Structure 1
């Protein structure tokens, strides 16, 4: 069995805009939350991270270093939506999860495009690993178990999701664990 812990980075400092592939800083000032999360993570055999600054800053605030950074772990590219205020994002209405997973903003990628580059990274892990990534990274991992329904999960900043792989089968231990 392989345990894959996926930690979403600390809150992005974006001024209320969609970050996506923009390289922005993280707010790493919640020392108590970082201390609690470091204890919750415990010992892992390997640490990999998105090369995004906010992910590397989160690792540093935890007192950890990545063994490797993986460009495939970058957040979804939201194309023309990058940098828009959340209130200005288009309302896609009540779209079925399978359709939403395939929707591409102009100049960007769909959830399925992003998950298609993240899932092989997770599937290739052969030992207990901490992955520091994005909300999309977490949802891509969850999609190994629940398919496109992974898009329905809220993923809080500095939250931990734990998956297990048994051969080719995946299971979920916990989702969206945050400091109390």
Structure 2
């Protein structure tokens, strides 16, 4: 089984943390969209986060999701929603496991988010293309590398591919950008 995850196009969030905020996607780079659309042809059933930016990206790629899956929403950043990255608190040097457990006030931790995303991905039976968020990609990667998944870069409109052999997941490619 092959799982292809395409992160949505850049969000129009003015450089602020989007998380659960439902913001539009910038789908104006037609060349990048065409390159990524060509890469995901035949990737299997399409499912997407219900976030507007994911639905807009899927439409711009010419894809129609078979279903919108609420569990694939981005991490709820609570009090951090809408903040510019430079306004986020400095958590200091945390081991990956501690960072994965950290919960912003009123939000959810990476571990919380992965606990809702991973069962959806584990239940998939055939090749599937997921249009979702950076957090969704990292949750998928956590099935292979645990909390170290937080260290992966996940660019807008990038593709990550995992394969499952029986019950074992393997990473095929991470962060394949349109310009790569």
Instruction: Give yes or no for TM over 0.5.
Output: yes
For 1:45 and 1:7, locate their aligned partners in 2 and report how far apart those are by CA, in whole Å: 13
Q: Which digits, 9 at most, give the CA deviation of each residue in 1:4-46, with x for residues without a partner? A: 0001000000111100000000000000000000111120320
Q: TM-score, normalised by structure 2?
A: 0.98
Secondary structure at 2:47's aligned position in 1? strand
Secondary structure at 1:47's aligned position in 2? strand
For 2:7 and 2:92, locate their aligned partners in 1 and report how far apart those are by CA, in whole Å: 26
Kindly state the Cα deviation for residue 167 of structure 1 after the two structures are TM-superposed: 1.4
Q: Which residue pairs with 1:120 in the alignment?
A: 119
Counterparts of 1:1-180 in structure 2, within 5 Å, are 2-180=1-179
Q: Which digits, 9 at most, give the CA deviation of each residue in 1:108-145, with x for residues without a partner? A: 00000000000001000100000010000000000000
Kindly state the Cα deviation for residue 85 of structure 1 after the two structures are TM-superposed: 1.1
Secondary structure at 2:126's aligned position in 1? coil
Kindly state the Cα deviation for residue 87 of structure 1 after the two structures are TM-superposed: 1.0
Between the two proteins, the alignment pairs up a number of residues equal to: 179
Secondary structure at 1:33's aligned position in 2? helix
For 1:110 and 1:34, locate their aligned partners in 2 and report how far apart those are by CA, in whole Å: 31
For 1:91 and 1:151, locate their aligned partners in 2 and report how far apart those are by CA, in whole Å: 16
For 1:115 and 1:62, locate their aligned partners in 2 and report how far apart those are by CA, in whole Å: 26
Secondary structure at 2:99's aligned position in 1? helix
After superposing on structure 2, the runs of 4+ consecutive aligned residues of structure 1 that deviate more than 2 Å are none
